[in-house]
Amino acid sequence: MSGIVAIVGRPNVGKSTFFNRLIQRREAIVDSVSGVTRDRHYGKSDWNGRQFSLIDTGGYVIGSDDVFESEIDKQVELAIDEADVIIFMVDVETGITPMDEDVAILLRKVNKPVFLAVNKVDNNKRLENAVEFYALGLGDYFPIASTNGSGSGDLLDAVIEALPEETNVEESELPRFAVVGRPNAGKSSFINSLIGEERYIVTDIAGTTRDSIDTKYNRFGFEFNLVDTAGIRRKSKVKEDLEFYSVMRSVRAIENADVCLLVLDATRGFDGQVQNIFWLAQRNRKGIVILVNKWDLVEKETNTMKTLEQEIRREIEPFTDVPIIFMSVLNKQRIFKAIETAVKVFEDRSKKIKTKLLNDVMLPIMENNPPPAYKGKYVKIKFCTQLPTPQPQFAFFCNLPQYVRDPYKRFIENKLREEFDFKGVPITVYFRKK
């Protein structure tokens, strides 16, 4: 389990530049989902071989110039609750502002590692000016310049040092299904109606995800852990509709799940916040099932379901091969279909395809549809194999991997889905030098 690092501070101190700098290096290599990074505020990064999740709280402030301080306070409080390590960023050009002092007051009470990063220190004069930040009462600071990355190495060394020990969530062999979505979409009711009043519960395991609850579920021949993020204690200070809130809440649950059941409210549709949670699950390479709840409340015409389904698939391109189930928790309509589908997605995600079968099926397809020639060079694919990873990743060995373009990778991915049935499962395809 990787740790969570949150970057906090008032607007315009350079949080996003620093955030982009840290995730770019990685996302450019690992996470090139053909340029799909729709949610700019959450990413994965690594330093010295240690992976962590990074959250930029700044992206969530509405109308950044005349920000209400209470908004920022809310975010800092939330980051304090959710993150393992906090980076507090200030700006040497403006010096200490009243808003910086407010944030420092909140952070001084915290018993989590807090690192003060003084940004825009790109010459000696500014290095001298940075001394004033001792006045914030947070101890030593790290002078950095997020535009060119200077000083960020020392800061990251300290951050990695402070992250909790990595623990594997492999304690239980059972699959973990996380129920995620924005507030009031019906997550709690969904879980309650699954578990039923008779409580088919074997044990309540205090969640490894710190305050989500794992319920062991055993019914109709399915056995798995249900990770309930819905029942997490409500924070009175945090407005339920704060977008940041539901993303933060979902990060940990998603990272520790095998399959994410994304519950959305049919009357609100597949809005931005739901999309953020979808891409979060997709980028973490989790199985996904989309559950459109409250279907009983929607005025229906002949093609209502079809239209909404098409709209959702359009939003999740290019990963459109995801099961979408229309259900009503209130009427107990299709809730078990949801679980059956999640079990199927879990099985598909853990599926291993024998190398001989993979080559027998894929090589003829690629011979008939080779990658387009690039700069007059022809790519010849000789062999493919599934990598020994928890989720489906495939390596295709060829003479010129650098000439294989994204559209062809997507073509291969779609063929793998078609031939081997990977519905709802993100697949990664690599081309490597033979």
Annotated binding site: 9-16, 56-60, 119-122, 181-188, 228-232, 293-296
Task: Report d(CA 422, CA 370) in Å as an integer.
Answer: 23
In this structure, the number of other CB atoms found within 10 A of the CB of residue 5 comes to 26
Which strands, in side-by-side order, build the sheet including 222-228? 201-206, 213-219, 222-228, 176-180, 259-265, 287-293, 324-326
2 and 52 in contact (C-beta within 8 Å)? yes
Q: Which two tokens stand for residue 280?
A: 């979060």
- Phi, then psi, of 86 in degrees rounded to 5: -120, 130
For residues 74, 78, 80, 86, the Cα torsion angle rounded to the nearest 10 degrees is -90
- DSSP, res 137: S
Q: Helix, strand, or coil here: 168?
A: coil
Q: Report the binding-site residues for GTP.
A: 9-16, 56-60, 119-122, 181-188, 228-232, 293-296
146 and 14 in contact (C-beta within 8 Å)? yes
Q: What type of residue sits at position 99?
A: M
Q: Helix, strand, or coil here: 191?
A: helix
Strands (E), 150-306: 176-180, 201-206, 213-219, 222-228, 259-265, 287-293
Partners of 145 in the β-ladder: 150
